[in-house]
Amino acid sequence: MIGPMQAALCSTQGGAAFRVETVVLPVNGQQRTYAFVAEFKGRVEVFDLTEMLYTAPAGGHWVPSHPAWVAPPSGFDALDNNIRAIAVDPLSDGKAMVYVGVSRVGIMSIPFDPSSTTGFMDSERHLIKTSGEVWGLSIRDHPNPARRTLLCSDGYAGHRIYSLGLIEHQAASGTGL
């Protein structure tokens, strides 16, 4: 078992895990549980927890199941952009859309394919510009897909609600929000 001071889901690259989201996705006909760990230093790492829900590996660290997604460096000073928020939305095709609150940038939406060795499809990422610093993200589910929303705590700029249908449409068409 993991002791209260042991870190099981953390990077071997010296990051600071800031937020975690879990989601169940189908891979080759089997349901797999993934943890998406957002690190303050600008990375999102993915861990397959399916077989490890109640045990800790020797040394207290699990190896990520897919390569990490790394936020682009700041255009202002070329430093790492911090990540303070993450929300993961399972899609009907077995993939997931990962929404990441990136400091000084906004919200990045990055498709994730668990059956791919690369996982994150960075070439298909989409930026949602926000007025403030994204501190929190949450998906509001609804039986009517047109009414599903992404809730954003945008720091001093207040709270925002984005239509997930509009985000997906604009990402597919290459236009920004």
Domain chopping of the chain, boundaries: 17-173
Percent of the chain with pLDDT over 70: 79
Q: What is the pLDDT of residue 55?
A: 57
Q: What is the DSSP letter of 166?
A: H
Residue 114: CB atoms within 10 Å: 20
- Whether the per-residue pLDDT at 118 is higher than 50: the answer is yes
Query: 118 vs 169, which has greater pLDDT?
Result: 118
Residue 99: CB atoms within 10 Å: 26
Distance CA 171, CA 150 (A): 15
Instruction: Supply the mean pLDDT for the chain.
Output: 81
Burial label for 32, CB within 10 Å (0-12, 13-18, 19+), is middle
Distance CA 9, CA 143 (A): 33
* Single pTM value for the model: 0.82
